[in-house]
Structure 1
Amino acid sequence: MRSRGQRAAARLPRLYLAAVGLLVGVTITAARVGGSPEDPAEGSPPTPSPPEAVAPSGSGTVAPAPADAVGSEWTLTIDQDFSTPAAPGEFDRVYPGWAEYDGTRDTSGHGLYDSDRVVSVSDGVLRKTLHTEDGQPLVAAVTPVPHVQTYGRYEVRFRADALPGYKIAWLLWPDDDDWHDGELNFPEAYLDAGEEIHGFAHEIGPNPHVNAFIADTGQTLLEWHTAVIEWRPDSVTFALDGVEYRTTDPVAVPQVPMYWSLQTETKRVGPAADVSGTVSIDYVRAWAWTPPA
């Protein structure tokens, strides 16, 4: 059986950008949309909007909801606020099982997953410091423990510097390693300045390279955000800062056990050697779905 990192490397690069207006405070239900397995054409990114002036606390001035305030259909399984420091080189020891991709190549093949040289934890924030050493771009994937369940709620608070040539692809991936069983990606975004946060549900069945569902948030990663995936037997909901995007299309809703991986990696066209900066994670939480009585 392939390792977690080898599973990630086996996935085809994919992003399909569709223009959807951001409607604050409402749920957006999308129909099935055909997508592309390839990254969009490289070009000049749009000029980003100025980031909000939010100071880390670790993560901004708007407090997220408490972990126990999400409703009776969810049972908390992970509540990690990174209160235990981990110096560079210590992450895998302090947080055992959270760096399963180490030593493998990322999806594009340019980057090397290496938490020892990338990940640290201090002041209640996990930081991925992306950079190149001796010509090798170094990246990291965080795999929260416990990994695997069927249906669940997943929440992460995060921000990122502008890092041309890098991307985040934080996803739920089938534990049986069969892409035909589905894939949920949220948040996913290039880290180039001005790039926006998207969500994708890949089509279940013979054409997993097609995006059965796409959510375009209109938001960049320069500010702190809270992203949520809610995966139920009959629906998938992506939410960014409380704005929800939902599908009930059966070909977009996986029905097999999946694991959660916060992959931060290189793009198809990798970064220049002098590009370096940080992706920050304030906390991660996960819940198992509890069927209603």
Structure 2
Amino acid sequence: MTGDQGMKITLRRGVAIAVYGLLAVAGQAFAADPSGEDLPIGDFGPWKQVFTEDFLLDAALGEFVAKYDDKWKARGANWDFDQRNPGQVPVADTSHRGIYSPANTLSVSGGVLDIAPHKGDGPQFGPDGRLEQNEWPELVDLPWEQERPYVAALTPRVLGPDGEMTYGRYMIRLKVEYPEDNPAGGEGYKIANLLWPKSDLWPDDGEIDYPEGDFSDNSFSAFHHYTCDATKPSLDESSECDKFRSQQLPWQDGFYNIANFSSWHTATIEWMPDRINFLLDGELAETRETNPTDATTTTRVPNKPMYHVMQIETELNNDYIPVESRPHIKVAWVSIWKYEP
């Protein structure tokens, strides 16, 4: 790996050493991490550390929001305790099948966050399958109408309540534990650890996803969704963004099959003005294909504020999710730097 491609983290005797090109900076010492790799501490090169989370405070199921609210924003916090209360409105995930419920999915023990998506017991939406303001009536009468999965989405409060920044470096150390060590035990669930535009304008202001993948595949990938110009007409008078939405123009870089979920890995997004690097365990990631590709991209890099979302949700299809599908996503730590060249 050359110096302009990314940064390598080396850990020796509990001390983090950051290497960016020829620059090395020693961080502070800390206890050995249960994942086998310690939380990196310190500024280096163009990166100023603005957020760290080592999950040192234990939190039983249902306690995460109360104990971690100063550092994390959890979606669906008002839909935790009485899911049959008609006065409450659930917050649905991207596929519109799962509901965000931190009290039913998040716990912390032994320095590790455990995110446990699963189906709840009994009806979750009543006989009409109601979701947010009845937006998705197509959910009614499907086989899993009264077996909605609980899922989770967390945003670190970086530099403010919503954590948005323009350019940054985002590290997460994680693995997935499957029932009976069988990836089929993760069927129906996925991760999208992503940077999403503060404007909510998509695809105009881009999107960055890593790691992303279905747990049943036991493999994750990286994606950079290009920014576009909604005012720029294409050949048939439609806007450039319309072409991106319909995928009639190239609209993303994808780097597939980078690593398995079932082992501890450190995934890093380096978002700079002219480049996005995706790193695996301190090195520039490569696709595991016949002709491996370096996971770096320079096309239409986002330049507007984005915020980080650690999103565990249902897969983007209508397949039935077995009740016995219960993966546990283990997160050892999260570390974030702001880009300040």
TM-score by length of 1: 0.75
Alignment partner of 1:92 is 2:65? yes
CA shift for structure 1 position 203? 1.7
Unaligned runs of 5+ in 1: 1-24, 30-55
Aligned to 2:232: none
**Cα separation, partners in 2 of 1:137 and 1:77, compared to 1, 3 Å:** same
**Cα separation, partners in 2 of 1:26 and 1:110, compared to 1, 3 Å:** farther
For residues 329 and 92 of structure 2, what CA distance do their matches in structure 1 show? Answer: 19
Aligned to 1:156: 172
**Cα separation, partners in 2 of 1:159 and 1:82, compared to 1, 3 Å:** same
Alignment partner of 1:138 is 2:162? no
Alignment partner of 1:168 is 2:191? yes
Could you tell me whether the CA contact under 8 Å between 1:154 and 1:228 is conserved in 2? Answer: yes
Alignment partner of 1:104 is 2:98? no
Equivalences for 1:182-221 in 2 at 5 Å?
A: 182-192=206-216, 194-205=217-228, 206=241, 207=244, 211-221=251-261
CA shift for structure 1 position 231? 0.4
CA shift for structure 1 position 104? 1.0
**Radius of gyration: which is bigger?**
2
Structure 2 SS opposite 1:117 = helix
Could you tell me whether the CA contact under 8 Å between 1:149 and 1:288 is conserved in 2? Answer: yes
CA shift for structure 1 position 65? 6.7
Unaligned runs of 5+ in 2: 6-31, 77-89, 123-146, 178-182, 229-240, 285-294
Could you tell me whether the CA contact under 8 Å between 2:74 and 2:102 is conserved in 1? Answer: no
For residues 169 and 59 of structure 1, what CA distance do their matches in structure 2 show? Answer: 21
Structure 2 SS opposite 1:148 = coil
For residues 40 and 312 of structure 2, what CA distance do their matches in structure 1 show? Answer: 26
**Cα separation, partners in 2 of 1:71 and 1:57, compared to 1, 3 Å:** closer
CA RMSD of the aligned region, Å? 2.1
Deviations 1:60-107 (A, max 9, x none): 3xx257322x62311111110000111111111111162432141111
Match 2:35 to one of 59, 81, 98 = 59
Could you tell me whether the CA contact under 8 Å between 2:222 and 2:278 is conserved in 1? Answer: yes
Q: Which has the higher contact order (CA 8 A, sep 6+)?
A: 1
For residues 191 and 98 of structure 1, what CA distance do their matches in structure 2 show? Answer: 24
When structure 1 is superposed on structure 2, of 210-219 and 166-175 the one drifting more is: 210-219
When structure 1 is superposed on structure 2, of 255-264 and 72-81 the one drifting more is: 72-81
For residues 307 and 263 of structure 2, what CA distance do their matches in structure 1 show? Answer: 27
Structure 1 SS opposite 2:72 = coil
CA shift for structure 1 position 136? 1.7
Aligned to 1:290: 340
Could you tell me whether the CA contact under 8 Å between 2:98 and 2:149 is conserved in 1? Answer: yes
Aligned to 1:261: 309
CA shift for structure 1 position 26? 7.6
**Cα separation, partners in 2 of 1:211 and 1:241, compared to 1, 3 Å:** farther
Structure 2 SS opposite 1:143 = strand
For residues 218 and 184 of structure 1, what CA distance do their matches in structure 2 show? Answer: 15
- Residue type of the alignment partner of 1:139: V
CA shift for structure 1 position 216? 2.3
- Residue type of the alignment partner of 2:321: P
Aligned to 1:234: 274
For residues 271 and 2 of structure 2, what CA distance do their matches in structure 1 show? Answer: 18
Number of equivalent positions: 235
Deviations 1:207-263 (A, max 9, x none): 1565421122441100000000000011101111133121122x2x10000000000
**Cα separation, partners in 2 of 1:28 and 1:278, compared to 1, 3 Å:** farther
Deviations 1:179-205 (A, max 9, x none): 11000000001000x432100001211
Give the % identical residues.
34
Deviations 1:161-190 (A, max 9, x none): 330110001100000110110000000010
CA shift for structure 1 position 156? 0.3
